[in-house]
Structure formats: C-alpha cells, structure tokens
Amino acid sequence: MLATLCHEPFSGGDWVFERKLDGERLVVVRDEAGARLYTRNRKNVSDTYPELVAALDEQAAPGLVADGEVVAFDGAQTSFSRLQGRLGITDPGRARSTGIAVTLYLFDAPVVAGHDVTAVALRTRKRLLVRSVEAGDGVRLSRHRNTDGERYLREACERGWEGVIAKRVDAPYRPGTRSDSWLKLKCVQAQELVIGGWTEPQGSRTGFGALLVGYHDGSGLRYAGKVGTGFDHRALGGLRERFGEVETGTSPFRDRVPESGVHWLRPELVAQIGFSEWTRDGRLRHPRYLGLREDKDPADVVREEVR
C-alpha cells in the first residue's frame, strides 16, 4: 500500500501519525519454513539482511505477512546513504561483515495467523501485529501518535526526520495502490526518479558528470533535469559500472534533452533524488543524489502530486 503526498499538515481522530523512515520498504513472510524478506518489486533480499531473518524466525509467529521498512542509523537519524552499503549484497557473510547495523520497523500486517485481514480496519491490524511479533533484536514495531498531526510534523522536522505518514484508522489495506488513506507529509522534498542517461565528467571528476533523470506520466518518460551533486567516489564508480549493463544508443526520454556529451541508458535504474522544488517547466531545482532504489520498479515512478 502506497502513500499520497500531502503538503498541508492536519489532525483528526480518524487518523494516526507515524514517523516517515528513510530506508528500504520490505514485505515479511513468516511461515512454517521460516522468514523471508521481499522488496516491493518482489526481489528476495533475505540474504541481504540475514540477521533480520534470524530475528523474525525467533520473534514472529508463523502465518504472518507484514509490511515494514529496513533502516540503517547514522547517529539518531535513519540514513538511506548508509543503508546503500547493504543494498545489492547477496552473500549473508559479506552482508554481516559490512559492519552496517540494520533495524526492521513493522507497521502493518495484511495476513495474520494465515488469515487475510486486508479488509479489516488499520487499528485492528496494528493490534494483531503486536500480538504476532515480539519486538527486539533488530525488529521493532513502528510507534504512532493518535492525534495532533501538526505538532508531530513540527517535532519530526526539528529532530531531522524525513517526515510523517498519516493513516486513516478505519482504512483497509489495499496492496499496490496509492491511496488517500495513507498520506505522507515531508520535511524535505525527495522522490524516486528513473535514470535515463549520464554526461561526461569534467575537470577532476571521475566516473560521470551528471545523471539525467525523469518520470513516467502516461505518455512516456518525461525529462526532469540533471543531477550533478551528492556523489562520493564510491557512488561515482559504482554507478558508472552499472551504466555499462544498460547502455543504449537512443534517448529514453519523450522530451528533448538540452545537454551535450550524453550517453543514453535503458530506463531500468531508479535513484532517490532530493531537491528544493519543481520549476514551472517541470524541472528539479537544486537536485542532489541520495542513493539507488533497488526496491522500486522503474515503470511505477511518476511525479508525486500533492493531494
């Protein structure tokens, strides 16, 4: 179930408010054979987070399908950049040896004790989740506030969080849909965008100069601008290596891209991009690279519209 962007904070007895985490969305499946972890686009990432699988085997009851997010902390803040050091690793031993500790926050449960509970109210699903999972050892239950969303968002921004998710307490769980029953209120602007090309590096820069990114709008991939900041040496080298797997001779964008020295890519890689705002002509202002999104299907990447 996906959230819709909302710019106006609000309160109400029909809503609960949760911390918006800066990590990788995961689905937990715990049956008699043990626990498994999947991304939103159905990739099995159990070997990427072996310590979480072990914890869920001990702490979660069989017959459970739960919705959550895995995060890595940098001090008191969740850091998607730090989590990048675990993404894509498929060897459990290597994953553990990174030294990057991860925590799984669970916030919903579409299936409990083998029963489909997607039709019941969120508040009931949360109670069922509490009964099905014992928190601790890397697995936690996401806390929520029942009222006063405006104050919670102010506190979130003061603490340096990414934002708040508001959820209707009586809403069913609708897998795969972006619903007005879940709303995200952000402290900073950021969203996923498809990488469609890159430019040559200039000066002392290595790897590449900038990413050319876009989003789908029903008529094709629309160009949203170039992203030239936010990269460290590891990101520059790692991305440049990935580009070799998806190079193509033609532009994937519907729009004309006003850049020179461009190399085109098949639209298969998704990046998380922070920015200050959208311009009137549909371009990003002050964009910066935050990391790759291995859990996102490029076909699902659209420009987030405000409710």
**What is the domain count for the chain?**
2
In a domain? residue 305: no
Task: Name the domain boundary from 164, 186, 208.
Answer: 186
Same domain, 71 and 160: yes
- Residue at 247 is within a domain: yes
- Look up the domain containing 82 and give its range: 2-186
pLDDT at 172 over 90: yes
Both 80 and 177 in one domain: the answer is yes
Of 168, 186, 204, which marks where a domain is finished? Answer: 186
Task: Give dist(CA 86, CA 94) in Å, integer.
Answer: 9
- Residues 73-120: tens digit of each pLDDT: 988 888 888 999 999 899 999 999 999 999 999 999 999 999 999 999
Of 145, 164, 186, which residue is a domain's last? 186
Q: How do residues 123-162 score in pLDDT, each as one tens digit?
A: 999 999 999 999 998 999 999 998 889 999 999 988 888 8
**Which of 42, 41, 45 is closest to 53 using CA atoms?**
45
Same-domain check for residues 196 and 57: no
Q: With respect to residue 307, please indicate whether it lies within any of the assigned structural domains.
A: no
Paired residues of 271 in beta bridges: 193, 292
Same domain, 52 and 172: yes
Can you tell me the distance from the alpha carbon of 2 to that of 27, in angstroms, rounded to the nearest whole number? 13
Q: Are residues 159 and 83 in the same domain?
A: yes
- The CA distance from 20 to 186, in Å, is 8
Q: Give me the catalytic one of 20, 126, 184, 296.
A: 20
Please tell me whether residues 245 and 171 are part of one structural domain.
no
Does residue 198 have a pLDDT over 80?
A: yes
Let me know whether 266 and 145 are in one domain: no
For residue range 249-295, list pLDDT tens digits in order: 999 999 999 998 899 999 999 999 999 889 888 999 999 999 999 88
Per-position DSSP letters for 17-79, written without gaps between them: EEEEP-SEEEEEEEETTEEEEEETT--B-TTTSHHHHHHHHHHB-SSEEEEEEEE-EETTEE-
Regarding whether 208 and 105 lie in a shared domain, the answer is: no
pLDDT in tens, 207-217: 999 999 999 99
Any alpha helices (H) in 74-196, and if so which ranges? 80-83, 92-97, 122-132, 149-158
Residues 137 and 160 in one domain: yes
For residue 306, the model assigns a pLDDT of: 67
Contact 142, 172 (CB under 8 A): no
Q: Tell me, yes or no, whether 36 lies in a domain.
A: yes
Q: Is 20 a catalytic residue?
A: yes
- The confidence score (pLDDT) of residue 81 equals 86
306 domain residue, yes or no: no
Tell me if 194 is assigned to some domain: yes
pLDDT of residue 201 exceeding 70: yes
